[in-house]
């Protein structure tokens, strides 16, 4: 596909780090753009997103390793949204923020796979879309994003909110050094890594690392090129055969 031939698609590919190879698997039921993705019990959830002018509340699931290698629809969210952040904690799938076509959202809801139901949770303090989210210990972190209409100043955010899954309350922690939306976020060795994004002028190659014990940010090794709207995930590091 040429760069000027963008389209919403259903395509799904799987990467094998040992073979360094991508393969196509069953496509989603619906073409989705700016969706969120989470994993519970080897089940991959595709959450929300849009196709053309239609914004979805729908959610579909792919069971890795199941005999029927296809996507199935599960219960829909309460709110249609694109550009939402998704993460999992304690076998709950969190859908956080996003854009419903009119406003940038602070709404948070959780999906319980055992009951196939969504439940509204405490809203973010700062509504946003294009943020990233990750869980670490008993907390969920929501980083960066694009500002809600009620926040003054630069629209890209450096704000970080942390949700305590025990008290079920949001609070702010120390902000990132760089404002970014469309970034990704992963956790490794009890630290939070925020990767790339868009700073309002340029696609960013910046990587920042948050230490929750010190409430401090430091810079990591930057990406080889700036990128936004991407995803990040952790996997095992493949070892090379001694004969190679």
pLDDT of residue 239: 63
**Res 236: pLDDT:** 79
Q: Are the beta carbons of 42 and 60 closer than 8 angstroms?
A: no
Residue 17 has which token pair?
A: 């780090």
d(CA 49, CA 64): 22
- The list of the chain residues with pLDDT below 50 reads 1-3, 242-244
Give residue 244's pLDDT: 42
Write out pLDDT tens, residues 145-193. 998 666 665 599 999 999 999 999 999 999 999 999 999 999 999 999 9
Q: What is the pLDDT of residue 67?
A: 75
Within 10 angstroms of residue 151's Cβ, the number of other Cβ atoms is 15
**SS3 assignment, position 92:** strand
C-alpha–C-alpha distance, residues 142 and 47, integer Å: 17
pLDDT at 243: 45
How high is the pLDDT of residue 151? Answer: 60
Question: Please, what are the domains in the chain?
Answer: 122-227 (2.120.10.80)
- pLDDT value, residue 66: 78
> What pLDDT is attached to residue 240?
56
- Res 65: pLDDT: 83
Dihedral angle at the C-alpha atoms of 85, 89, 93, 97, nearest 10 degrees?
-30
Residue whose C-alpha is closest to residue 104's, from 120, 87, 126: 126
């Amino acid at each position: 596909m040429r760069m000027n031939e963008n389209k919403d698609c259903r395509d799904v590919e799987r990467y094998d780090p040992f073979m360094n190879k991508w393969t196509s698997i069953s496509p989603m039921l619906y073409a989705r753009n700016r969706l969120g993705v989470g994993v519970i019990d080897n089940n991959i959830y595709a959450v929300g997103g849009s196709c053309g002018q239609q914004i979805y509340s729908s959610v579909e699931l792919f069971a890795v390793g199941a005999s029927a290698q296809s996507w199935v629809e599960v219960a829909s969210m309460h709110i249609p949204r694109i550009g939402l952040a998704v993460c999992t904690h304690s076998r709950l799938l969190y859908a956080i923020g996003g854009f419903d076509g009119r406003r940038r959202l602070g709404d948070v809801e959780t999906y319980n796979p055992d009951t196939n139901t969504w439940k509204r949770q405490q809203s973010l303090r700062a509504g946003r879309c294009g943020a990233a989210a990750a869980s670490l210990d008993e907390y969920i972190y929501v980083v960066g994003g694009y500002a809600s209409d009620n926040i003054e100043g630069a629209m890209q955010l450096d704000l970080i909110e942390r949700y305590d899954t025990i008290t079920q309350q949001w609070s702010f922690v120390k902000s990132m050094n760089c404002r970014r939306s469309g970034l990704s976020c992963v956790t490794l060795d009890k630290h939070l890594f925020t990767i790339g994004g868009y700073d309002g002028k340029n696609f960013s190659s910046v990587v920042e690392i948050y230490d929750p014990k010190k409430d401090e940010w430091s810079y990591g090794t930057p990406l080889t090129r700036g990128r936004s709207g991407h995803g990040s995930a952790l996997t095992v590091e493949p070892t090379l055969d001694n004969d190679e």
